[in-house]
């Protein structure tokens, strides 16, 4: 029973990081957040990507993950 729970959690983490890599070509949540913010920005993507990488550089990984999930939720909600 515990072995199945551990395998399931490992599968969820693997799916999350695989999704990050496929969507953003990045595994680091802060860099993925910078790409997500640059794509949603009205400024040209190249310039916005540099700016957002600078702004997310000082954030912790948990804060970046939370902001990335919030961004996904905003994208799904009309």
What is the predicted pLDDT for the residue at 75?
87
pLDDT of 78 above 80 = no
Q: Which domain holds residue 42?
A: 2-76
In the chain, how many domains are there?
A: 1
3-state helix, strand, coil in the chain (%, to 5): 80, 0, 20
pLDDT of 77 above 80 = yes
> What tens digit of pLDDT does each residue of 30-61 get?
999 999 999 989 989 889 989 999 999 999 99
pLDDT of 10 above 90 = yes
Spatial distance between the Cα atoms of 78 and 49, rounded to a whole number of angstroms: 25
pLDDT of 18 above 80 = yes
pLDDT of 12 above 90 = yes
């Amino acid at each position: 029973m515990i072995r199945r729970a551990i395998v399931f959690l490992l599968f969820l983490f693997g799916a999350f990081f695989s999704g990050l890599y496929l969507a953003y070509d990045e595994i680091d949540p802060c860099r993925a957040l910078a790409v997500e913010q640059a794509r949603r920005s009205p400024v040209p993507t190249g310039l916005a990507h540099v700016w957002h990488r600078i702004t997310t550089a000082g954030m912790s990984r948990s804060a970046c993950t939370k902001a990335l999930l919030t961004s996904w939720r905003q994208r799904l909600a009309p």
